[in-house]
Structure 1
Amino acid sequence: MAPLATPAQRFQARLIDTLVLGFIWVVMLAATGALRYGLDHPGEQDTAKVLISAALTFTLYFAYEGAMLANSGQTLGKKALRIRVAKLADGDVPGRQGWVRGAVYALPGIASPVAVGTIFWLVNSVWQLRDRPYRQSLHDKAAKTVVVSALY
């Protein structure tokens, strides 16, 4: 198997993918009318529209992450950092396990984007720093995947 990706590479890749998430979020706020409402009523928000936007955002982000990982093992962020997700068992492209990994990462945001999602993502991200020998985050453990260099 290729060498493991460093925590710094994984963090930088996730920052790029967070830009994708932010783009989807803005599009969903606009599509549901939540953005217009906030602009027309400064300091207020239409909670129902914001919650619908959040559910749609994290569902679409799950589709993005799941499809990209299942097909190539790389999201846009991972491509930029030249790392990829691989099956722990044999180093192959994750296939179906990419969808599991994407679900465990993205779907907690639907439960409650601020509380549940944020706490989970913090714990999930820090987990790889103490995990040995594979530096797996919780979504890697659930999917039985690792993040490795794509240069090999």
Structure 2
Amino acid sequence: MPPLAEPGKRILARLIDFLIISIPLYLISLPWGGAVDVNGDGDDGFGDAVASGYSGHQLLWSIIGLVVYVAYDTYFTHKDGRTLGKRLLKLRVAMLNDGRVPDTGAALMRAVVLWAPALLCCPCLWWLINIVLMFTDKPYRQGLQDKAAKTVVVAVR
């Protein structure tokens, strides 16, 4: 098994992946009123939509965003263990037990556990928990998504 990835590189890779997806999604959403709450009425995600029964377009863009993020992460993780951000920073997702590339089920589990809570209810808290885990989890530096899918992130050459 290659050495475990440094938490700082993992965070940077995730930020790159986030920008790769979120910028095009935002631009695509503009002709339909945008994917963000421009009215300042507090409707900023699925959780608020369910609680307040608000406008359909915010809910629609939250769901579209969730599907795109999960599909992106699942596809690239299953393909070769590397999203575009991980590829740039020479990182790879590996199965904990044998180091192989995750199968579709593990890749999907990892993506859902990573993206669903962050996009649907509590993004700041969710990311903070995962960042703290990457720095403190022993011995594998696993985030919650890694624990759920039984994966680790390793450095590659």
Q: Which residue of 1 aligns with 2:143?
A: 137
SS at match of 2:34: helix
CA distance in 2, matches of 1:103, 1:36: 21
Q: Would the alpha carbon gap of residues 59 and 35 (structure 1) be closer, same or farther in structure 2, given more than 3 Å must change?
A: same
Deviation of the 1:37 alpha carbon: 10
Q: Which residue of 1 aligns with 2:47?
A: none
* Structure 2: gaps of 5 or more residues: 44-54
Which residue identity is paired with 2:82?
Q
Do 1:28 and 1:56's aligned partners in 2 also have CA atoms closer than 8 Å?
Answer: no
Equivalent runs, 1:1-152 vs 2, <5 Å: 1-30=1-30, 33-35=32-34, 43=39, 47-96=55-104, 97-112=106-121, 116-151=122-157
Q: Which residue of 1 aligns with 2:51?
A: none
Q: Would the alpha carbon gap of residues 84 and 3 (structure 1) be closer, same or farther in structure 2, given more than 3 Å must change?
A: same
Do 2:35 and 2:58's aligned partners in 1 also have CA atoms closer than 8 Å?
Answer: no
Which residue identity is paired with 1:35?
G
Deviation of the 1:90 alpha carbon: 0.2
Q: Would the alpha carbon gap of residues 77 and 119 (structure 1) be closer, same or farther in structure 2, given more than 3 Å must change?
A: same
Which residue identity is paired with 1:142?
A
* Structure 1: gaps of 5 or more residues: none
Deviation of the 1:117 alpha carbon: 2.9
Q: TM-score, normalised by structure 2?
A: 0.81
Deviation of the 1:57 alpha carbon: 0.7
Q: Would the alpha carbon gap of residues 37 and 23 (structure 1) be closer, same or farther in structure 2, given more than 3 Å must change?
A: closer
Q: Would the alpha carbon gap of residues 35 and 101 (structure 1) be closer, same or farther in structure 2, given more than 3 Å must change?
A: same
Across the aligned residues of Structure 1 and Structure 2, the Cα RMSD in angstroms comes to 2.3
Q: TM-score, normalised by structure 1?
A: 0.84
Identity rate, percent:
37
Residues 93-102 or 140-149, more deviating: 93-102
CA distance in 1, matches of 2:67, 2:110: 14
CA distance in 2, matches of 1:36, 1:141: 31
Do 1:82 and 1:149's aligned partners in 2 also have CA atoms closer than 8 Å?
Answer: yes
Deviation of the 1:84 alpha carbon: 0.3
Do 1:24 and 1:61's aligned partners in 2 also have CA atoms closer than 8 Å?
Answer: no
